[in-house]
Amino acid sequence: MHVELYKTKRELNIKNYSPKTIKSYLYGLQQYFCFKGEKYTELEQENIKDFLLHCKQKNISAQSRNLFLNAIKFYYRNVIRNPRKIKIQTAKKPQRLPIVLSRSEIEKILQSIKNSKHNLLISLAYGAGLRVSEAVSLKICDIDITERTLHIKHAKGRKDRITIVPEKLVNQLKNLIAVKTKNEYLFASERGGKLTTRTAQKVFKKALRAAEINKNATFHSLRHSFATHVLENGTDIRYVQALLGHHNIRTTQRYTHVINPKLKRIQSPL
């Protein structure tokens, strides 16, 4: 490994960044070092701008370019200890509305899943607003049936949060808890250990096709649908923010653009 990448990896680990972030930052830095070619430790803002423009011309997304920029900033600030501030703004990302499944579409998806474990996985992900990584990482000790809560540990940003257990799933969860130890995964793979995120995503995609739903939905659409539907039920947006674990209320507010009931009542002149 390149010595500067090694130093950066060490610093990221010391600061307790997640493995996923470390991998992404190191990839971004590697691309930057390849572009820079030499004198990696010298902070040259114009060179960084040229690199980001080069990435844009290669059709690299705004989200990835912003990640590269954050990796570069981390390197110069925390590894090189250069006090100069990098005055480059992040790229403006396209404002896309989340893909939300209707309640009837969710019902069709669940009806199409005959495997009881897979059905519970998709039901819980939707009913509790879980990311795919959170769903497969759930352990028996994270479930409090009495309080009807799930303790989501080390979620995005290394933050814990509490979310709800749907009433409809209580009996199924009770039956599973009865035959497992507290440190076992709720959704274990056949080979032992937890179910992989890839497997969970495949389960969802298969169910989407079986339900004959043509939306470009992903496993994460279950979380979008949860947020939209609880807001439609009249839940205060601050509670929804807490259930989803959003740091910024603006992230939660984007769901209000999907649920405008007045819009649905407007009749087209056609």
CB 156 within 8 A of CB 131: yes
Instruction: Give dist(CA 229, CA 180) in Å, integer.
Output: 32
Of 162, 133, 129, the closest CA to residue 148 belongs to 162
Top-confidence range, 80-94, 103-117, 178-192? 103-117
The pLDDT score that the predictor gives to residue 263 is 62
Above 90 in pLDDT, residue 252? no
Check if 3-79 and 103-263 are the same fold.
no
Q: Which range among 69-73, 129-133, 255-259 shows the weakest confidence by mean pLDDT? A: 255-259
The pLDDT score that the predictor gives to residue 247 is 85
117-158 per-position pLDDT tens digit = 999 999 999 999 999 999 999 999 999 999 999 999 877 767
Question: Does the model's pTM come out above 0.85?
Answer: no
- Confidence grade of residue 264 (pLDDT, cut at 50, 70, 90): low
Amino acid at 78: N
- Confidence grade of residue 27 (pLDDT, cut at 50, 70, 90): very high
Instruction: Give dist(CA 36, CA 30) in Å, integer.
Output: 10
CB 43 within 8 A of CB 76: yes
The pLDDT score that the predictor gives to residue 262 is 58
Instruction: Give dist(CA 22, CA 9) in Å, integer.
Output: 7
The CATH-assigned architecture of domain 3-79 is Orthogonal Bundle (1.10)
- Confidence grade of residue 192 (pLDDT, cut at 50, 70, 90): confident
CB 100 within 8 A of CB 257: no
Above 80 in pLDDT, residue 165? yes
Question: What's the mean pLDDT in 205-233?
Answer: 94
Above 80 in pLDDT, residue 198? yes
Beta bridge mates, 164: 149
pLDDT above 70 covers a percentage of the chain that reads: 96
The pLDDT score that the predictor gives to residue 1 is 58
The pLDDT score that the predictor gives to residue 156 is 74
What is the set of active-site residues?
131, 156, 220, 223, 246, 255
Question: What's the mean pLDDT in 5-19?
Answer: 92
Q: Tell me the CATH number of domain 103-263, given options 1.10.1060.10, 1.10.443.10, 3.30.70.1060, 3.40.640.10.
A: 1.10.443.10
What one-character DSSP code corresponds to residue 140? G
Question: What's the mean pLDDT in 13-38?
Answer: 92
Delimit the domains of the chain by residue range. Answer: 3-79, 103-263
CB 217 within 8 A of CB 208: yes
Tell me the pLDDT of the chain averaged across its residues: 90
Who has greater pLDDT, 260 or 97? 97
